[in-house]
Amino acid sequence: MAGQPFMANVTGNYSISTTGLNLITLQGQSWGPMTFAFVLDSTGNGRMIEYDDTTGQGSRGSGALRKANSSTFALSALNGNWVYGGAGTNYAGVRTVVVSEYTLTAGNITNGAMDTNEGGTYKTGTFTGTMSAVDPQSGRVTATIYAGGEDNPFVGYVVSISEMVMESLYPQHPQAGSVLRQSGTFSKGTLNGLAVSYYQSIGGEGDDRSGAALLSCNGNGTFNILAEDDDDAGTITQGQPEQGTYTVGANGAANFSGGGDTPAGFLISHNKGFMVSIGSNPDFYWLEPQTGGPFSNASMAGSYAGGTLPPLDYVNAHDEADVGSADGLGTLTFSGDSSGSDGLDQAFGQIVNYNIAANGRGTAESQGDHAPNIVYMISPTKWVVMLPKTDARMAVFQH
């Protein structure tokens, strides 16, 4: 839904728990309080959810929590090429996905190229823009994107020399996403080896959808899908192996062909990028290199913090922030905070049995589950899990 953006100083308080389930409450000058549950991984980053909808009739959301490096709060530190990937809605509330690539030099945005999918309508375009100086205290920046005869205002925060987060200030087009610095040169050889892709979408019937896949690229324009699972409103279906082709431009623009809703987008580095479907559904893809294989149950070992990706719709959404410990033998013990249509909940010490195959695909199931969750290992320190729920829930976990 469209909302009116605002800027305000906030106050609040937070608590850090020995369980790993933490809380922060914020109060603005004209709004609040709002409470968030958050979990932290070993790097100081984590996941967070809104955690104050006690009746299930209010608002909820989920996202990433990023640890900022204030030494990079300078516009000169941001010169270079960047890739943006984000999702939101248009003026009619239709899901819209945008991925783009651009060059930033002394606050000037040039060579902008973008792929968008607005409710199933795929388009490409170009843009220019400007970016303000970086606030040295908060890392806040503002930007104006000039595209299609319109001025589109954005605001963002610098995380590091290689990362920003941005959101639209145009109330009729609410949108938010990540901005990552491109590194290296780009060609077909940038896609070479194993990668995990995962996506979220809304189908033509309004059904929530998500999925994950393991790809093998040969560095010369051909890829194979070695494993694939799609979740359509809680029904997970395992796909068959497929083959296709791809192209990569000098700016990192990547296009895949073969199959159904094939993606296009921009590479950030080797086997890493943001993609959007060129088909009839507004899919948003993350692409990450898979490392650390071959895998087994021993690959999932130690402490992990994770949470659900942003909800696809706020009526059916059930958001979670979780911490867990895996024994490397097939048992994961986790605790979590959750917010859904039935209000708030907490779980402590739940047991999940997991089984990871050599290619990194696996299952995870606790007592009472009507179907197993599907796991894709990105590395021994990071994995994604698909939950067979009506909101096609997907979560990311990291050491």
- 304, 327 in Cβ contact below 8 A? no
Mean pLDDT along residues 189-209: 95
Place of tokens 């051909």: 222
Same domain, 280 and 327: no
Percentage above 90 pLDDT, the chain: 87
- 136, 126 in Cβ contact below 8 A? no
Residue with the bigger pLDDT between 322 and 148: it is 322
Burial class (CB in 10 A: 0-12, 13-18, 19+), 64: middle
> Domain with 102 in it: what CATH number?
2.40.128.120
Same domain, 39 and 16: yes
291-348 residue pLDDT tens: 999 999 999 999 999 999 999 987 778 999 999 999 999 999 999 999 999 999 999 9
Same domain, 75 and 169: yes
Percentage above 70 pLDDT, the chain: 97
User: What is the structure's pLDDT at 3?
Assistant: 47
Same domain, 242 and 274: yes
- C-alpha distances (whole Å) from 360 to each of 213, 226, 356, 383 are 10, 11, 6, 9
Q: What average pLDDT does the structure give for the chain?
A: 94
Full domain range(s) for residue 169:
70-181
115-142 residue pLDDT tens: 999 999 999 999 999 999 999 999 999 9
Tally the domains of the chain.
3
Same domain, 126 and 208: no
Boundary of a domain, candidates 134, 166, 181: 181
Residues 295 and 363: their CA atoms lie apart, in Å, by 13
Closest CA to 131 of 156, 111, 168: 156
Continuous H helices in 147-263: none
136-152 CB burial, b ≥16 within 10 A, e <16: eeebbbbbebebeeeeb
User: What is the structure's pLDDT at 5?
Assistant: 54
Place of tokens 């996506």: 199
Is the pLDDT at 22 greater than 60? The verdict is yes
Same domain, 82 and 171: yes
Is the pLDDT at 189 greater than 60? The verdict is yes
Same domain, 57 and 160: no
Residues 148 and 280: their CA atoms lie apart, in Å, by 22
- pTM for the model: 0.95
Place of tokens 């040039």: 110
227-249 residue pLDDT tens: 999 999 999 999 999 999 999 99
